[in-house]
A and B are shown apart, each in its own frame.
Chain A
Amino acid sequence: MITLSNVTKVYKAASGHVTAVDHVNLHIEQGEIFGIIGYSGAGKSSLIRLLNGLEKPTSGEVIVDGKDMGKISGKQLRQARQQIGMIFQHFNLLWSRTVRENIAFPLEIAGVPKEERMKRVDELVQLVGLQGREHAYPSQLSGGQKQRVGIARALANNPKVLLCDEATSALDPQTTDSILDLLVDINKRLGLTIVLITHEMHVIRKICDRVAVMENGKIVEMGEVLHVFRKPEQPITKRFVQQVTEPEETKEAMLHLLERYPNGKVVQLTFVGEAAEQPLITQLIRQFDLNINILQGKISQTHHGSYGVLFIHLDGANEEIERALAFIRQQEVEVEVLANVQ
């Protein structure tokens, strides 16, 4: 559905050239929810704007639904854009229009006759669950409701692709989840390809099929979400994964535990998918002569299965501990022995 080959975007600034997107290659399948994560300034905003021609690539090719978005212009570009919906961090609704009129705007642009337009608006209001608020103005809506209007507006012309530019970054956690649920629902029901950019790993974890990690304009890591969660390779990816797997205080708590248990080993276990649901600890206790103490644990749900982290303390003979660790490794569980840092 979307293919980027060797795409580079350079901005001319007073202080010299800034390379926002640096030789990016990417292929996104139809019906996929693809996430791009990075800190601000990583180039993800520029990248998503290349997909609907709001930015033109300095070099390389951007093909969306068979159209070269970097080359086409005028009427061709405008028609291609009607097939690509976009939602924004700050919603970007017209405050002078009601909910209905905002949703009708892209239909007016596409030249849909009035009667049909009104019918389609009704469907969309239903789809995003805004019944009863049709005649409100954006200033009378909550953030979540505004984003629902944004989504309805983006879907008005039955696009094939939906671009989400930090769509949940201005929302509180609960509202974020309800918007993400809506996006998954739309993706399933309409078979829409969704490309989203974010700096929150939570968003990637919750809805994405695949993820690309961006740093300094480059994609440094890319893969299926569950795989990236299990085996993050780049330091930046590890930091993002920690955002959802480790609560803030974990590191501090672990240091404390290492001090408290000078004997034995503190081990971090990472479970993915099926493994997360096996009774591993029971097996360990039965098969090995060890004292096992569960210190902390967390299990997160991704779009493709569960993902868990467990911190345990193993106490016993060194040989027994090594045998136990070898056993755990056989169970497709990632093991990391935490050393005493001091």
Chain B
Amino acid sequence: MSNELFPNVVWEKIWAATMETLYMTAISVVATFVLGILLGLLLFLTSKGNIWENRLINGVIASFVNIFRSIPFIILIILLIPFTKLVVGTILGANAALPALIIGAAPFYARMVEIALREIDKGVIEAAKAMGATTTTIIWKVLLPEALPALVSGITVTAIALVGYTAMAGVVGAGGLGNLAYLEGFQRNNNDVTFVATVLILIIVFIIQFIGDFVTSKIDKR
């Protein structure tokens, strides 16, 4: 039956492309999570009235975040080609997409982390200080746990954006479902391939959203 409905779909290729998309998404989400939290924490802690208040560092990080958040992703990939070549050694394949994906998404997530941290009641941080907590303790036992639901829902949104980015990266040669839809589907006029690739991307997005919502509701005790 599948041959009649989708005459041009080669399921092995679809499977391989799905795996590539999942691989790119998974690695870039993990890296974005770590890097974004790091940048977000720095943004928060160096902002006015906070523990490491420092206008210079805050200004530098904020401009870095703003610049990379503003560049359209498709342009960012092209701009990063020399960098990618240096780091990964090639500009083709799933691994070559990773630097652009991470550099594109981490600043976006860093802003969400900063907002999540700013939402924490200042009084709770003050209480921890009054108990004699070190800054490390405040970060690990107050800031991150108290902001966790917002951090998780933020990474969910970012992960979904990243699925979209992998499709774009696919068009310029990174592989995955985007690449398949563009090369095999659009350029050869095989609408069934484009359709199947789209449905699979949608399913991935729905699964990510479901997991994100589920985890957020589990950890949110407010």
Contacts and interface: CB of A to CB of B under 8 A. Distances in A.
Interface string A75-117: 0011111101010101011111100000001101110000000
Contacts of A139: 221-222
B148 A109 contact: no
Query: Of residues B123, B127, B146, which shows the largest number of chain A Cβ atoms within 10 Å of its Cβ?
Result: B127
A94 B124 contact: yes
Contact of A106 (B131, B134, B146, B221): B131
Interface residues of A, number: 29
A105 B129 contact: no
B121 A92 contact: yes
B213 interface: no
Interface residues of B, number: 21
A94 B133 contact: no
A54 B133 contact: no
A327 interface: no
A198 interface: no
A88 B127 contact: yes
A137 interface: yes
A43 to B, nearest CB: 17
Interface in B25-57: none
Contacts of A95: 146, 221-222
Contacts of B128: 105, 109
A92 B131 contact: no
Nearest to A102: B127
B153 to A, nearest CB: 15
A45 B131 CA distance: 17
B82 interface: no
17 contacts: A52-B130, A54-B130, A78-B132, A81-B131, A82-B132, A93-B124, A94-B146, A95-B146, A95-B222, A96-B145, A96-B221, A105-B131, A105-B141, A106-B132, A108-B141, A137-B221, A153-B131
